[in-house]
A and B are shown apart, each in its own frame.
Chain A
Amino acid sequence: MAVELNNIRFHYASNPGKTVLNIPSWSVQNNDHILVTGPSGCGKSTLLSILCGLEHPNEGSVTLFGERIDKMNARQRDRFRANHIGYIFQKLNLIPYLNAIDNIMLATRFCESNKVTSYQEVMAMLDSLNMSAQDWNKPIRLLSVGQQQRVAIARALINKPKLLIADEPTSSLDLSNRDAFMALLMSMIEMTNMTLLFVSHDVSLSGYFNHTQQLKQINHIEGGDNAF
């Protein structure tokens, strides 16, 4: 199993009265490409934060590839994340004043299994993402949103993570850019045995995935969340 959650309960420390996640049991198969959908505020990003060890569940166990990350200390979780998880956000995926190459190299810095990534590899990766060489050395903020998201894919994949997590990476893209992005992302991972966990409120993306789940089927919040 890539992901196994059991009896998870979580609320933010700043708002103890409101349980955001209550997941009795949930798992994701190795190599699965899964889309999790749900409306804004239903806890998608929170779930991902727990999976990558940035937030800690109040109760329950989080097992990734057989390792209990809820049992790890902070340093071990940082290492685990650097070594095994790739992450793509909705936006602001990259450090704006670094160029594409430095952004990607920075990600290799913290990964132990990937100390020897060369500039050649990075360039090859950018090349396969249809980035023209003239944009490799520009500060990220001078690139278009579509270009930035492509560099973000490269950044997320450079360490060959076992689990790729994407948090609404297409929501800032227009329709044609969205399709181009999805096609590119899927082509980049189809040859690998990466597990993809993709969250979005956009159900129309489900064609790209093996499975689509609604978060409310996984997350049992009493009375539902009708905040929006």
Chain B
Amino acid sequence: MLFKLALLSLKDRKNSVLLSVLAMTVSIVVLIGIEHIRQQTKANFASTISGVDLIVGARTSSMNLLLYSVFRIGNPTNNIRWDTYQAIANSKQVKWAIPISLGDSHKGFRVMGTTPEYFDFFSYGQKHGLTFKTGSRFNHVFDVVLGADVANQLGYRLGDKITLAHGIGATSFSHHSANPFTVSGILARTGTPVDQTVHVSLQSIEAIHNSGPQTVQLSEALSLIDVQDDPSLQPKTITAFMVGLENKMAIFQFQRTVNEYALEPIVAILPGVALSELWQMMGMLENTLLLISVLVFIAASFGVSAMLLASIRERRHEINLLRMIGAPAYFLFLLIQAEALLITLLSCGLGLSLLSTCLWLFGDELVSQFGLNIDANLLTLNTLYVTMATMIASVLIAIIPSLTGYRHAKQLNN
């Protein structure tokens, strides 16, 4: 009866109630949205890269090196020379080393040149290796391996011919063929920036940038093995390389060796350490966002309370009447609390459905625009906690109008 009365009374004042519900809904979307995204990015983030002991690049801040080599954000300030890579890759402590070369992009996705071994050694999350959804790694110069999101959003399938070159490269290739690259493989989804990367061989990057007449003669069918020793396709520089060591205990010592490399200013970073540094920076931003969203929510709760408080004046007769038929004064307290709770409940319901719909509709957009892989399923324990916290907060704030209602009921100044 209490809730029925509260519900009908809210319905009776639907204009002001609707506005309160809207304000509350927006604040709950912001609150739960930010908290959800925070949790998801944190989880995603920590699992971006694993199994790589060191990343080596031209001397810069560790943050910068991490951002461009792992997250493909920003541009390297400098490249490193191929012979530097070879000198380090050939040292005894190194188990494997994989060069990467960044620079070009294809329809908004970064193109990364690397060696086929990349697909063996790169791992993410709990040491998950990369797996192919279809096809396989590149065997030919003009083979390309697509990340899951690239294939998905551009609608590419195995065997499709695509143009990667731009600028000078494009003109040189246009003599030969409009679509020199062939999709040889599509990776399974990883939830990391790999999904947004176009992988090609280092040789093809070189070929794109060498616009000399001999390049035009290259056949699509050229096997990588065949061109292994072709000096014209040998990269002169790369962006960075990832290193796996024979002995994990030697990481710090090896890092020092790299940092002191005399022939070129280079730097080695530990991805795990750099990731947590970066997370701390982002975490601060996200805590600020969370704080703001909490404040927005509290403001909305006060808005609801103000609305309820204002309603008490116009409901004087109703209160008198309830008292006259024997309702105790605390019934009025409960009635107004029930109204606040119903508003919050309704707003939570609306907010959660709105948020899921948005995540479901714009999830792909988030992935491609921001590299954010957000689960549209909001039904997590964390969301439950946040929802319960909003209920409790709104009940606490609604004590103000509820007590006023109670006092009015006690005094009955008609």
Contact = CB atoms under 8 A, between A and B. Distances in A.
Contacts of B326: 78-79, 81-83, 107, 110-111
Interface in A56-111: 74-75, 78-79, 81-83, 87, 89, 92-98, 102, 105-107, 109-111
A199 interface: no
Contact of B318 (A55, A82, A95, A107): A95
A54 interface: yes
Contact of A87 (B324, B327, B410, B412): B324
A98 B11 CA distance: 11
Interface in B299-331: 317-318, 321-329
B383 interface: no
A54 B323 contact: yes
A85 to B, nearest CB: 8
A163 interface: no
A120 interface: no
B9 A110 contact: no
A78 to B, nearest CB: 5
B412 A97 contact: no
7 contacts: A54-B412, A55-B412, A81-B324, A95-B318, A97-B11, A97-B12, A111-B326
B9 A93 contact: no
B43 interface: no
A155 interface: yes
A93 B321 contact: yes
B393 interface: no
A14 interface: yes
Contacts of B273: none
A89 B328 CA distance: 19
A110 B4 CA distance: 15
B413 interface: yes
Contacts of A78: 323, 326-329
Contacts of B9: 97
B1 interface: yes
Contact of A96 (B12, B322, B323): B12
B389 interface: no
A42 interface: no
Contacts of A110: 325-328
A156 to B, nearest CB: 9
A106 B413 contact: no
A82 B413 CA distance: 20
B328 A74 contact: yes
B312 to A, nearest CB: 15
B297 to A, nearest CB: 29
A52 interface: yes
B321 A95 contact: yes
Contacts of A111: 326
Given A97-B8, A97-B12, A75 B328 contact: yes
A104 to B, nearest CB: 10
Interface residues of B, number: 21
B5 interface: yes
A37 B317 CA distance: 24
Contact of B325 (A14, A55, A96, A155): A155
A92 B412 contact: no
A97 B321 CA distance: 13
A20 B413 CA distance: 15
A32 to B, nearest CB: 22
B198 to A, nearest CB: 63
B320 to A, nearest CB: 8
Given A92-B317, A106-B1, A52 B329 contact: no
Contact of B5 (A54, A106, A107): A106
A14 B413 contact: yes
A105 B327 CA distance: 13
Nearest to A93: B321
Contacts of B12: 96-97
A82 B323 contact: no
Contacts of A54: 323-324, 412
Q: Closest 3 A-B residue pairs measured CB to CB?
A: A82-B326, A97-B12, A110-B326
B249 to A, nearest CB: 75
B324 A98 contact: no
B8 A98 contact: yes
B334 to A, nearest CB: 13
A188 B308 CA distance: 39
Interface in B163-190: none
Q: Which of B328, B329, B413 has the most CB of A within 10 A?
A: B328
A14 B328 CA distance: 23
A179 B332 CA distance: 36
A79 B325 CA distance: 9
A106 B324 contact: no
Contacts of A93: 321
Interface string B141-172: 00000000000000000000000000000000
Contacts of A79: 326
Contacts of A83: 326
B3 to A, nearest CB: 13
Q: Which of B321, B323, B326 has the most CB of A within 10 A?
A: B326
Contacts of A105: 1
A54 B319 CA distance: 12
A206 to B, nearest CB: 26
Given A54-B412, A92-B317, A95-B318, A107 B325 contact: yes
Contacts of A97: 8-9, 11-12
A102 B8 CA distance: 11
A41 B120 CA distance: 96
A52 B327 CA distance: 13
Nearest to A104: B325
Contacts of A109: 1, 327
Nearest to B331: A110
